[in-house]
Each structure stands twice: as C-alpha cells, then as structure tokens.
A and B are shown apart, each in its own frame.
Chain A
Amino acid sequence: MLQASVLERVAIAVASTLLALLLGSLIVAASGYDAVQFVSALLYGAFGTASNLAFTLRQSTMLILAGVAVAIAFRAGVFNIGVQGQFVVGGFATAITILFLAPMLPEGVVGGVLLMGLGTVAAVVAGGAYAALPGMMKAYAGANEVITTIMLNFIATGVVYFLVDGFLRPSGTSAPNTEPFPTYVELPPIVFESGTFSVIGLGVALAVVAVVYVTMVRTRFGYDLVTSGHQEPAAAYSGVNPKQTIVTTMTFSGMVAGLTGALFTIMILGYYSDPSTFPRFGFDAIAVSLLAANNPLGVVPAGLLFGGLDAGGQYIGFTLDVPAELVDGITGLVVLFVAAPELFRMAGRRTGLGGEKR
C-alpha cells in the first residue's frame, strides 16, 4: 500500500505522529486550553508513575494484539475494519464459556487455568468465524469488506448487548453486566501492582507477534498471503486461489482479534458488559498497523506509542477537563498523514532533507 523503503517508512511514521501531535496541540490551544500543560500532562499520564506506566502497558498490550490482527489482513490487501466487532464477539465467547463451565470444573489454580484456556479457545474460534463471514462475502459475492466489516461491528455490539442485557444480567441488577468470574480466573500481576494489567498479558501479545511474524515470513501460507496482497496475478499464477486466500486471511486476522477480546475480558474486565462502552481498540489498531506499515514487528513500537497516548489522554480527561476523545482525534490525524507519504516526500524534496531515490 505504501511504497517506501524501511528508513523512509520510519521517517514517515515519526513525521506523521509529530505533525498530528502538533495539530492536536494547536486545536487544544485554540479551544482555550494551555497547550504546554496539555503535553506535559500527556507525558506524565503515560509514564509519570509506576501505575501510569502499568496503564500504558495495559493499553499497549491490547493495541499490539489488535494491531497485529489488522496488519495480517492489510498485508494481504484486505481491509479488516471489523477488528472491533471480532474483539467484542471473541470476548463474549470467553465470558459465556467461563461462566458456563465454572461450576463444572474444580476451583483454584487448575480450574482457573483450564477456564482461561478454554475461554481463549472459544474467543479465537468465535473471532475467526465472525471475520470469515465478511471474507466470504467479499470473495464470493464481491461485497466491499470495508463496509461489511463496519456493519458487522454495529451488529456485534447490538446483538451482544441484547444477549447480555436480556439473558446474562443477574436478576435484580440494573447495569447490563454479567456475573463476575470466579476470583481464581485471573492473571497474576507479577511486576506491577495492578488489578487490570499482567505482564503475562503482554507476554501473550509479544508471543502472538512472534508467531504471526514467523508465519508471514517463513511459511508457505504467509508467502501466499503477502504475495496475493502485493502481486495478485503472480500469486494466481503460482497456484494460489485468491478467493480462498481472502477467506483464510480474514479468518486468521479475526482469530487474533478474538484473542484480543479474550485477554480484555479476562485480564481487564473479569465479567462482561455492554460492548458499546468498551474502548475502541479495534479502530485505534488500524492506526497502529498503518504506522507500522503493516509489519507485525513494527506493531510493537507503534502499539507502545498509542498505548502511551491513550493512557496520557485518559489522564488528561481526569485532571485537565480536556475531554479524552481528543486523543481519538489525534489518532485519526496520524492515520490521515500516514496515508499520504507523498506529502512528506514532497516536503522533503522542498527542504532538501530527504532525497528522491528512484
């Protein structure tokens, strides 16, 4: 999608982020807030204290995982905008699996590990299946996947809310929440004293990055996937069935999105709730993946950056009474600038900083 060398990509990513932050600060200043205070609060909120850092890493973990899900599809030339929906469906599958099986399994660590494992498997299956749907619609009916996946996001949120509110809400309560999971279903925090972040979660995310990277670079499946994204005729010539590739790509992407939902449900929530109130990790992940030029390894630094922005933004929302939605807008600006590498090339040529190397 973006034709550029590795160095150029890094430069574009850095320039896009800086330009977006600059524009964001200008908008903050124009709205009557103190821009310097805004930036320093952003940094403090992201890294200032151990608990702020834990929050940053928690958000980064989710964004890295969801970012990998997006990157898998984008690499193959398919736009999976439905990571949010697959994330919601996956997390819901985890929640019902854990709540349904909990009474049948032994309590304690063994039961906890079993429940988390089975819940995660359920999420991967559900996320993959929910992503296979738009994949099939694109491959066999020519339906534009950008629009179908967005519609499926709305549908996932609505249907899951309906199920949680109508069938899983304990009687006598008014909030659309399920029963909480048993206390032994949890990831031990280990390094940070945080109820919602565990280094194990970050480890899972990094392991997934490694697995996806190896799959993309070292396996036949990954090769077919990337070739059909860049050189469809070449892929077809070498015997790749493009329709099947679209479906498998989407399924693979959705499986990772489902896993993101499982981790969110187990590590952060500990119950399930109205998905329209969840953070929009699936959308921010699009920015993460684009900034990383859809490279699974590049998703790690990009995820850390957006995790920090997210944590800083929420801190600002609490303390400065600048609404946290601002960060969503800045994320959008980053995406906009990353989409236009030509803008920076031209700026580079004008200023003599970057050369034309074609």
Chain B
Amino acid sequence: MSVGEYASRNRLSISLAVAAVLLIVAAAALLDLPGAELLTVGALERTLRAATPIALAAIGGLYAEKSGVFNIGLEGFMIFGAFTAAAAAWILSGDQSIGQLHLWAGILIAVLVCSLLTVAFAVLTIRYKADQIVAGLAVWFIGLGFGPFLASVVWGGVSSPALPNVATLTVPVLSDLPVIGRLLFDTSPLILFTLVLTVVAWVVLYRTRYGYWVQAAGENPEALDTAGVDVNRVRYATVVFSGAIAGLAGAVLSVGIGSGFIGTGVTIVDGRGWIAIVAYLFGNYNPVGAFLASLLFGAMDMLQIQLQTVGIALPGSITGLFPYVAVLVVLTLVGYTRVPAAVGEPYETEE
C-alpha cells in the first residue's frame, strides 16, 4: 500500500487525527496558552521515548493479527520482558555494578525468553485452537501474577532496586543538526532501532512476497494453502515475532529507558500493551500508521510535564489517565477498522 493509497483508504482516521490536532491548537489559542512552550524539542523527545515501547509492541501485534492470530496477550509478554531484562542484567552482573554489556545481555535474554513463552501461546492457539481472546487474557494474568512473584524471588520485593539504563548513542556531526540531531542522533539506540524497525516492517509487509503470505494467512488462508504455503507456519512465525518484540518493548521500559522493574499495581507496563493494540488498529494495521498512533499516545502520556511547565497543575492521578481516555476516544471514533477476515479462526488443512 503506497502512501497515497493509504491516505485514500483511511480518509476517516486521517481527517480525525487532523481534526484532533486542529482542536488542540484552537484550544491552546483560545486559552491563551504559550504554544511555543508546549511544543519544545524536549517535549518531542519525551514523546518519542514514551511512544517507543508502545510502537514496538504495536508492530508485533499487527503482524500476528494480519496473519490471523489476535495476540491480545501483548501486555503480559511485555511484563515478562520487563522483568526478565532487569533480572537477567542484575544476575549477570553478580549484584555488582551493572554495566552496559549486562544491560544489553538482559535485553537479549528477555527477547529470547518471551519468544519461548510465545511459542507456548502459539501452540495453544494455533494447534490446540484455544480461544485467542481468553488465552491472551490468561497471558496477562500470568504476567501480573508471576512477574511480581519472580521479582520477589530475585530481589525480595515485587520491584527491583533502581538500575542503570542503556546509554545514549551520540552520532558525531549529525547530532549537531537542529532539532533532528537531538531527536534522532543523540538518543537511546533503542529509539533508533524502533524507527528502523517501523520502516522495515512496512517494507516487508507491503513490498515482499513474505508480506503477502502474512496478509493472505489472515485474509484468505485457503488460497494461501492452495498456493502451497503452510498457513500455520506463517502464523507461528508472526506470533512468535509479536511475542519477541513485545518482550523487547517490556525490556525497553525496565532497562532501556526506565530504571528497573516495578511490580506494584498493574506493573511497570501499566496498560501499554493494550494501548499498543489500539495504536495498530488506529494505524489501520500499517506499521507507519501504528508508529504515528503510538506517538499520539506517547504525547498524551507526557502531557503532564508540558502542562506543568506552562503552569497548569492538574493532579498526576488525573493526567495519568490521558492515554486511557485517548484510547477510548480513538476506539469510539474508528471502532470499525476492517479486521483481517480470518482472525480468530484456527486453520486446518483439508487433507
């Protein structure tokens, strides 16, 4: 799908997004808010940081759903990713000073562990035809339970102590560019990786043969089967990818840009997996659209700081709810996204 095609097919969501931006600008003008102070490079940077884990999980979930499996367990896999990355880095460092190498190893282990857990989820949903929504909810509950439990085993409490995070990557020369330099070339390598992944995910999905297989597995599995491609193999691959990347998203939260694992309440993930699902629905299953939607939710997440800097002090318990409210508004306005035709249906070859 080219950009022009995307625009023509998604007139509603695009016009809604534009309307929302205009509304915010108008409100800012009416309330006499200093717009320049609201929209700073710092705000953009925070938005990008907040959007990264959401965008990662969204791209994974999008691939799984495109191929016909609704991975509603993203939130749970993120919790496992967040815990595993922090715990692995902690254990590898032998409780001493945690270095960059330990952090990266922790992230890698988190991706591996989440891939393995997702294999179990994929086998249950694809081979044993488990109800995808119920199984996904189960993954969330398992994460909510075992995440803090395992944290207690490792640290003696449901949260980890403060941990260091992945160092900023500064590209010489490029980082001196105005705005872009600070946003893209003087930032966490994980943010850069997310940007690259977004583009690659778009190219693979819409410009390669494999991408067409993924789409066919979700739209018309019989046709794909007739063409001699194993539908379930494609689905296993996308589901495991979605779990692996959700694990990475969790790792980004705990040791990538955050400072450790939090196991209290609904854990450090705090609904971002659910927001990721809405992000790719809003982006109409397009990786670039999903990334832009994640930016919107990231901005909502960071709005509190911006409001504070211009002197509007809303209590944190209220501003913390902005992303969830945004999700409700988005879902109500663009509820009818066309889901892939065969989502939720196990596929059986007729032999």
Question: Which residues of B lie under 8 Å from residue A137 when comparing CB positions?
Answer: 328, 331-332, 335
A30: nearest residue on chain B (CB-CB)? Answer: B153
Does any Cβ of A come within 8 Å of B6's Cβ? no
Tell whether, in the assembled complex, residue A333 and residue B142 are in contact, meaning their CB atoms are under 8 Å apart: yes
Tell whether, in the assembled complex, residue A158 and residue B318 are in contact, meaning their CB atoms are under 8 Å apart: yes
Selected contact of A142 from candidates B131, B141, B335, CB within 8 Å: B335
Chain A: interface residue total (CB-CB under 8 A): 52
Does any Cβ of B come within 8 Å of A325's Cβ? yes
Does any Cβ of B come within 8 Å of A165's Cβ? yes
The answer to whether residues A154 and B331 also contact, given A323-B158, A332-B142, A336-B130 and a CB cut-off of 8 A, is no
Tell whether, in the assembled complex, residue A326 and residue B149 are in contact, meaning their CB atoms are under 8 Å apart: yes
A181 CB, min distance to chain B CBs, angstroms: 24
B333: nearest residue on chain A (CB-CB)? Answer: A141
Does any Cβ of B come within 8 Å of A343's Cβ? yes
Q: A332-B141, A339-B134 are in contact. List 10 more A-B contacts (CB 8 A).
A: A142-B335, A154-B321, A161-B317, A286-B137, A290-B134, A323-B149, A325-B144, A325-B147, A326-B149, A339-B135
Write the residues of chain A forming the contact surface with B, with a CB cutoff of 8 angstroms.
1-2, 27, 31-32, 79, 81, 137-138, 141-144, 146-148, 150-152, 154-155, 158-159, 161-162, 165-166, 276, 280, 283, 286-287, 290, 322-323, 325-333, 335-336, 338-340, 342-343, 346
Selected contact of B128 from candidates A152, A154, A286, A340, CB within 8 Å: A340
The answer to whether residues A287 and B128 also contact, given A137-B328, A161-B317 and a CB cut-off of 8 A, is no
A277: nearest residue on chain B (CB-CB)? Answer: B265
Question: Which residues of A lie under 8 Å from residue B72 when comparing CB positions?
Answer: 146
Question: Which residues of B lie under 8 Å from residue A27 when comparing CB positions?
Answer: 146
Of B51-59, B224-232, B243-251, B270-278, the one touching chain A:
B270-278
Docked CA distance A148–B277 (Å): 11
A159: nearest residue on chain B (CB-CB)? Answer: B321
Tell whether, in the assembled complex, residue B148 and residue A325 are in contact, meaning their CB atoms are under 8 Å apart: yes
Selected contact of B145 from candidates A162, A328, A338, A340, CB within 8 Å: A328
Tell whether, in the assembled complex, residue A162 and residue B134 are in contact, meaning their CB atoms are under 8 Å apart: no
Question: Which residues of A lie under 8 Å from residue B133 when comparing CB positions?
Answer: 79, 146
Does any Cβ of A come within 8 Å of B315's Cβ? yes
Question: Which residues of B lie under 8 Å from residue A340 when comparing CB positions?
Answer: 124-125, 128-131, 135
Does any Cβ of A come within 8 Å of B303's Cβ? no
B271 CB, min distance to chain A CBs, angstroms: 6
Docked CA distance A154–B266 (Å): 9
A1: nearest residue on chain B (CB-CB)? Answer: B131
Docked CA distance A151–B75 (Å): 13
B121: nearest residue on chain A (CB-CB)? Answer: A336
Interface residues of B in 259-281 (CB under 8 A from A): 263, 265-266, 271, 274, 277-278, 281
Tell whether, in the assembled complex, residue A166 and residue B315 are in contact, meaning their CB atoms are under 8 Å apart: yes
> Which bracket fits the contact residues of B?
35 or more
Write the residues of chain B forming the contact surface with A, with a CB cutoff of 8 angstroms.
72, 124-125, 128-131, 133-135, 137-150, 152-153, 158, 263, 265-266, 271, 274, 277-278, 281, 315, 317-318, 320-321, 324-325, 327-328, 331-333, 335-336
B129: nearest residue on chain A (CB-CB)? Answer: A342
Tell whether, in the assembled complex, residue B321 and residue A336 are in contact, meaning their CB atoms are under 8 Å apart: no
Tell whether, in the assembled complex, residue B148 and residue A339 are in contact, meaning their CB atoms are under 8 Å apart: no
Tell whether, in the assembled complex, residue A325 and residue B149 are in contact, meaning their CB atoms are under 8 Å apart: yes
Tell whether, in the assembled complex, residue B318 and residue A31 are in contact, meaning their CB atoms are under 8 Å apart: no
Tell whether, in the assembled complex, residue B128 and residue A342 are in contact, meaning their CB atoms are under 8 Å apart: yes
Docked CA distance A164–B271 (Å): 23
A25 CB, min distance to chain B CBs, angstroms: 13
B114 CB, min distance to chain A CBs, angstroms: 16
B338 CB, min distance to chain A CBs, angstroms: 10
The answer to whether residues A335 and B318 also contact, given A142-B336, A343-B128 and a CB cut-off of 8 A, is no
Selected contact of A31 from candidates B134, B150, B327, CB within 8 Å: B150
A346 CB, min distance to chain B CBs, angstroms: 7
Tell whether, in the assembled complex, residue B135 and residue A150 are in contact, meaning their CB atoms are under 8 Å apart: no
A274 CB, min distance to chain B CBs, angstroms: 10
A-B pairs, top 9 by smallest CB distance, nearest first, are A329-B145, A332-B141, A328-B145, A142-B335, A340-B130, A332-B142, A336-B138, A335-B138, A339-B134
The answer to whether residues A147 and B274 also contact, given A31-B153, A32-B153, A339-B135 and a CB cut-off of 8 A, is yes
Count chain A CB atoms within 10 A of each CB in B129, B144, B145, B146 and give the residue with the most.
Answer: B145
Docked CA distance A340–B124 (Å): 7
Selected contact of B141 from candidates A32, A322, A328, A343, CB within 8 Å: A328
Question: Which residues of B lie under 8 Å from residue A343 when comparing CB positions?
Answer: 124, 128, 130
Docked CA distance A339–B129 (Å): 9
A82 CB, min distance to chain B CBs, angstroms: 12
Docked CA distance A330–B140 (Å): 12
Tell whether, in the assembled complex, residue A332 and residue B128 are in contact, meaning their CB atoms are under 8 Å apart: no
Tell whether, in the assembled complex, residue B142 and residue A162 are in contact, meaning their CB atoms are under 8 Å apart: no
Docked CA distance A32–B137 (Å): 28
Tell whether, in the assembled complex, residue B142 and residue A336 are in contact, meaning their CB atoms are under 8 Å apart: yes
26 contacts between A and B (CB under 8 A): A27-B146, A81-B137, A141-B336, A144-B331, A146-B133, A146-B137, A147-B277, A151-B325, A151-B327, A154-B266, A158-B324, A162-B317, A166-B315, A286-B137, A325-B147, A325-B158, A327-B145, A328-B145, A328-B149, A329-B146, A331-B141, A332-B144, A333-B142, A335-B134, A339-B124, A342-B128
